[in-house]
Amino acid sequence: SSMGCHRLPERKKKTKKKTKKKKKKKKKKKKKKKKKKKKKKKKKKKKKKKKEHQQIQ
């Protein structure tokens, strides 16, 4: 029965290795966030056009 208790912690160590592979997938998601920043720059250009209308008034 003592041999069965030692085998359980070894299985837990194998699950920890699988979590490290998931962290590599998170780095790919960071590249998608950079594409969202480009959309914010387009909104800033619209604000500049509003300032030109205020100068005409």
- SS3 of residue 38 by DSSP: helix
Q: Residue 1: which pLDDT band, with cuts at 50, 70 and 90?
A: very low
Name the average pLDDT for the chain: 64
Distance CA 14, CA 6 (A): 14
∠ at Cα 33 (28, 37), nearest 5°? 150
Residue 26 has pLDDT above 50, yes or no: yes
Rg over alpha carbons for the chain, rounded to the nearest Å, is 27
**What's the token pair of residue 1?**
């029965």
Distance CA 50, CA 44 (A): 10
What pTM was computed for the model?
0.12
Residue 48 has pLDDT above 50, yes or no: yes
